[in-house]
Amino acid sequence: MTINRHLIEGRAWVYGDNIDTDQLAPIHSYKDKNAEEGCKFCLESIDPNFSMKVEDGDIFVAGANMGIGSSREQAPLHLKLLGIRAILAKSFSRIFYRNTLNLGVSALICLEVERISSGDILNVDPLKGRVNNLTTGETLECDPLPEHLMEIINDGGLMPHLKRKLF
């Protein structure tokens, strides 16, 4: 493992509690569209311009129960395809949490997300469980990712991880 490979630096987009999978991936966004097309509908019901605003390398910050609802993997996949590299939240809905990590995107539980505003530049270390808010100069604590999940993240997600393990 290279020392800083897992560090993520990017601009924060802050949303509230209970961001659900119907908001992240409404059924018309994935029933008969590929994910590259479908991700444009991500969060349209609460922020119609989200998909146009977000850029590669950005960080999604949510309140409690991020990703509540369905097991549909398009929910975190849409965020990933729009460029989101890490998701910080007070808590996660369990299937969304696993789906996010399985896609190679860090999902980190951070109880101090209130100290982040949209537009802040964050530097996230999932291994140490630390978020540096470069805009405010504050350092926030988050739960470090357990070793077996860090391994999946370092491999780039569960698919590349399985490829490495099985072949």
Partner 1 sequence: MPSMTLAEKIIASAAGLSSVTPGEIVTCKVDLAMIHDSSGPRRAGKMLDELGVPIWDKEKLVVITDHYTNDPDPGSLKIQAITHKWVNDKKLPHFFPEQGICHVVLPEKGFLKPGLFCVGGDSHSTTGGAFGAFMVGIGATEMVGVMATGEIWIRVPQTLQVNISGQLSPGLAAKDVILKLCGEIGVMGANYMVVDYCGTAVQAMSIDERMTLTNMAAELGAKTGLIVPDKVTSDWLTAAGVKNIDIMNWQNDKNATVAKVIDMDATTLCPQVAAPSNPENTSDVTDYSGTFVEQAYIGACTGAKLADLRMAAAVVRGHKVVKGMRFFVAPATTHIQDLAQTEGTLEILKDAGAVVLPSGCGGCIGQGAARLEENMTGISTTNRNFVGRAGPASSELYLGSAYSVAAAALTGKITDPREFL
Binding site residues, partner 1, CB under 8 A: 18, 20, 22-23, 26-27, 31-32, 44-46, 64-65, 68-73, 91, 93-95, 98-99, 102-103, 146, 148, 157-159, 162-163, 166
Minimum distance from residue 125 beta carbon to partner 1 (Å): 21
CB of 120: closest distance to partner 1 in angstroms?
25
CA–CA separation, 75 and 69 (whole Å): 10
Residue 90 buriedness (CB in 10 A; 0-12 / 13-18 / 19+): middle
Least distance between partner 1 and beta carbon 80 (Å): 11
Which is closer to partner 1, CB of 10 or CB of 26?
Answer: 26
Nearer to partner 1, 71 or 117 (CB): 71
Nearer to partner 1, 10 or 38 (CB): 38
Gap between the Cα atoms of 130 and 167, Å rounded: 34
83 three-class SS:
coil
CA dist., res. 149 & res. 102, Å (int): 9
Residue closer to partner 1 by CB (options 46, 134) is 46
CA dist 58 to 31, 72, 116, 130, 160, Å?
26, 22, 13, 17, 23
